[in-house]
Structure 1
Amino acid sequence: GKGAINNAEQAFNKTALLPVGVYAVSEELDEKYVFADLNLAQELLEFKPNQVTGIEFKFKPGADESAISEELQNIFNHKLTIKNRAQLNDSLYKMLNTEQTALYLIFTLVIVLTLFTLAGAIIMLIIDKKSNLTTLYNLGVEVKNLRKIFLFQGSILTVTGGLIGLILGIIIVLLQQNYQLVMVTPSMPYPVIFNIENLIIVLATIFSLGFISSLIASSRVTKKLLD
């Protein structure tokens, strides 16, 4: 950054190296970084022996990230910019989160379509049991209580099917984590993680949509139908 460049060959610090390995992480990282020894990097960049642009820490399992970040800031008088892995690769994590949201919406649509089948089955059951419902109605059972029968039945089917599906899904995730059944590349397994938050979201989605579907189907039990 000082003076005019008369010879391009002399404008850069150079050294002769023999590459010992190639890393294939992602296209963005592969085209941006070269890994070298610290002393060599300091020499090429004309840094002092104690001068670096960044340090990476690997925490022990269970370490408190926020507490460690605060302690580092206190040590260096809040002159540091501290980022975790997600913040360093924010574009990659945004893409993965977008993919997760898209998959959630797609499978929610599949659940909605499946619940049409549940609603249809309940309606067919109402028609099939019309004579029994009429008998109960004539004996004094209110229409709202007759509706609760089919609402309860639809809810049971939803809960049972949802729990079975979730158990199978958890088993598949755990098998992938431990035995790497599906591979993205010959050396990299497809990344999966078991997250309680996602489990709660899936349960809430299945149960709420199942309840709404059962409620709509049970509403076909009317006084006009029984008369």
Structure 2
Amino acid sequence: MFRPLIFFIGARYTRAKRRNHFISFISMTSMIGLALGVLAMIVVLSVMNGFQREMSSRILGMVPHATVGATAPLDDWKPVAAAALKNPEVQAAVPFTQLDGMFSYKGSMQPIQVSGIEPGEEGKVSIAASHIVAGNLQALKPGEFGVVIGEITARRFRLAPGDNITLIVPEVSSAPGGITPRLQRLTVVGIFKVGAELDSSLALINVQDAASLQHWAPNQVQSVRLKVRDLWMAPEVAKDVAQGLGPQYRADDWTHTQGSLFAAMKMEKTMIGLLLLMIVAVAAFNIIATLVMVVNDKGTDIAILRTIGATPRQILGIFVVQGSLIGVVGTLIGGVLGVLAALNVSQIVGWLERVSGQHIFTSDVYFISNLPSELQWGDVGMICFAGLVMSFLATLYPAWRAAQVEPAQALRYE
């Protein structure tokens, strides 16, 4: 079978047993370091993708993807919802009212964001019903001023279903200062836990009770809440729906309230990826030291090859092939092990917890009790490509030095 000279000799140098065992050790170390760097990058980025997925599903499963409302309360939300549902990106549309206030209980106070919902419709746009740990979302009956609070809020005030808590909301008045507080006694009918900051900052009441707190008619709502197929298209979808309804309608979306959190998570992933890439770079550029020593060790071989007709370009190609093979093998081993580790990271952490008897992630301290992981093949391809490119670049200088070896000088003392 025909094999080009440079690939034949380069591969032979890679697998042949060298007289200098130290060079073999350095070569193996470079390969192992590259594999570990690639493995670490794949696992860490997969875990960060998992965290982002968990936060997206929990936070954006509770807050509106987008809302469409007018400058005044909507007397009839159904035509707005029907118009929104004509957009193929909109999956559901339900009535929604939101107000800010303070919870007061036995002298303690806490800021809270209160969402007025229709319990029968909420399941179309929210995960609240599936995360109720006490009580029932359907207990939010109009006129009874029930409230569903987060688990952190309940724990802070030591509340349980059936307990009462006071809601303080600002109210515009003719009094000096223009704003007076309005107090409303609410009965806790449920507690939810989504494992995020919303457990301490969000509460749910019936949309008609929210209208009563705003001195609106029972059928009036602030806006229509939309659930969209693609979260990242929510701003464009909401804007299109509002423009289609008329100039008096305005749109809002999750990027205005939660966008900074996800932007910070994206930046964190980028910075950690760059830091881990430095580990891969260090391992890749160890190939330089390996090949420099190989060139010195193979000076006689290089001189003989030049004597029998090998060109400097062929000598350069031989050592590029040798260094690249180290990079390819190290990258492939790291890629395969990284994919396997990323797919089984939760099981690995669970095994470590069982062996050590210690809980790495406890629900009392962290919002999640396991280590999520989401393998994205785009990340794997990018990492492996970066490892291969850096390995190739690391071969160029030693290979160039090998191509500059003069046969007479190399054979003088042989």
Scaled by the length of structure 1, the TM-score of the pair is 0.77
Once the two structures are superposed, the pairs formed by residues 24-173 of structure 1 within 5 Å of their partners are 25-27=195-197, 29-48=198-217, 49-57=219-227, 59=229, 65=233, 72-73=241-242, 75-77=244-246, 79-83=249-253, 88-173=257-342
- Count of paired positions: 220
Equivalent-residue separation in structure 2 for 1:125 and 1:158 (angstroms) = 16
Equivalent-residue separation in structure 2 for 1:87 and 1:199 (angstroms) = 32
Q: How far apart are 1:108 and its partner, in Å?
A: 1.3
Secondary structure, in 3 states, of the residue corresponding to 2:205? coil
CA contact (8 A) 2:287 2:395 kept: yes
Equivalent-residue separation in structure 2 for 1:47 and 1:173 (angstroms) = 53
Q: 1:219 to 1:95 in 2, by over 3 A?
A: same
Q: How far apart are 1:146 and its partner, in Å?
A: 0.6
2:173 matched to which residue of 1? 2
Q: How far apart are 1:92 and its partner, in Å?
A: 1.3
- Is 1:16 matched up with 2:197? no
More RCO (CA 8 Å, sep 6+): 2
Q: Among residues 380, 383, 386, which one is paired with 1:205 in the alignment?
A: 386
CA contact (8 A) 1:13 1:44 kept: no
Q: How far apart are 1:30 and its partner, in Å?
A: 4.6
CA contact (8 A) 1:151 1:218 kept: yes
* Unaligned segments of structure 1, at least 5 residues: none
Q: 1:157 to 1:73 in 2, by over 3 A?
A: farther
Q: Which has the higher helix share?
A: 1
Q: How far apart are 1:51 and its partner, in Å?
A: 1.1
Which amino acid is 1:2 matched to?
A: S
Q: 1:19 to 1:74 in 2, by over 3 A?
A: same
Which amino acid is 2:253 matched to?
A: K
CA contact (8 A) 2:320 2:396 kept: yes
CA contact (8 A) 2:316 2:400 kept: yes
Q: 1:64 to 1:95 in 2, by over 3 A?
A: closer
RMSD of aligned C-alpha atoms?
A: 3.4
Q: 1:14 to 1:139 in 2, by over 3 A?
A: same
Which amino acid is 2:374 matched to?
A: I
Equivalent-residue separation in structure 2 for 1:145 and 1:2 (angstroms) = 88
Q: 1:41 to 1:167 in 2, by over 3 A?
A: farther
Provide Cα deviations, 1:5-64, integer angstroms capped at 9, x if missing partner.
69x9x730412322632546444x4553223333333322334424134514164xx899
Equivalent-residue separation in structure 2 for 1:87 and 1:144 (angstroms) = 58
CA contact (8 A) 2:285 2:394 kept: yes
Secondary structure, in 3 states, of the residue corresponding to 1:105? helix
Deviates more, 1:192-201 or 1:143-152: 192-201
Same amino acid, percent of matched pairs: 16
Q: 1:3 to 1:18 in 2, by over 3 A?
A: same
CA contact (8 A) 1:180 1:190 kept: no
Equivalent-residue separation in structure 2 for 1:184 and 1:72 (angstroms) = 42
Q: 1:143 to 1:180 in 2, by over 3 A?
A: closer
Q: 1:64 to 1:221 in 2, by over 3 A?
A: closer
Q: Show structure 1 runs of 4+ deviating over 6 A.
A: none
Equivalent-residue separation in structure 2 for 1:132 and 1:160 (angstroms) = 25
Q: How far apart are 1:174 and its partner, in Å?
A: 2.2
Which amino acid is 1:12 matched to?
A: R
Q: Which has the higher strand share?
A: 2
Which amino acid is 2:272 matched to?
A: L
Q: How far apart are 1:169 and its partner, in Å?
A: 1.8
Secondary structure, in 3 states, of the residue corresponding to 2:225? coil
Which amino acid is 2:175 matched to?
A: A
